[in-house]
């Protein structure tokens, strides 16, 4: 299995593709991450890749696997990433 692409490797790929220094490409990646964190409340979309969405989960009953005891799991907000159809088609070939 191939290694996942690290941040520095991704910055190098971006820098080579658009002829900019690696340091500047890393700054662009950091800016995109900062923007995603800031705007995830309203949903943040990376065209062709997917979007970050804030979702409210309802309260529910769960079970402690060790004891079998039923417990209440409170409602909470979670961040989800929804993969774009274009990305699914490009990766899975559909």
pLDDT at 93 over 90: no
pLDDT at 81 over 80: yes
22-75 confidence digits (pLDDT tens) = 999 999 999 999 999 999 898 999 999 999 999 999 999 999 999 999 999 999
Residue 71 is inside which H or E element, if any? strand 70-73
Distances (CA, A) of 42 to 50, 68, 77, 84, 93: 14, 38, 13, 17, 30
Residue 2 banded pLDDT, cuts 50, 70, 90: confident
- Is residue 1 very low, low, confident or very high in pLDDT (cuts 50, 70, 90)? confident
List, as one string, the DSSP characters of 9-70. HHHHHHHHHHT--HHHHHHHHHHHHHHHHHHGGG-EEETTTEEEEEEEEPPEEEE-TTT--E
pLDDT at position 34: 95
Q: How far apart are CA 28 and CA 24, in angstroms?
A: 6
- HSE-CB for 1 with a 13 A CA cutoff: 3
């Amino acid at each position: 299995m191939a290694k996942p692409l690290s941040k520095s490797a991704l910055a190098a790929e971006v820098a080579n593709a658009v002829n900019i220094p690696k340091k500047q490409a890393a700054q662009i990646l950091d800016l995109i991450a900062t923007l995603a964190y800031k705007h995830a409340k309203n949903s943040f979309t990376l065209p062709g890749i997917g979007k970050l969405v804030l979702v409210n989960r309802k309260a529910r009953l769960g079970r402690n696997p060790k004891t079998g005891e039923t417990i209440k799991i409170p409602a909470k907000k979670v961040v989800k990433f929804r993969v774009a159809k274009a990305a699914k088609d490009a990766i899975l070939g559909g």
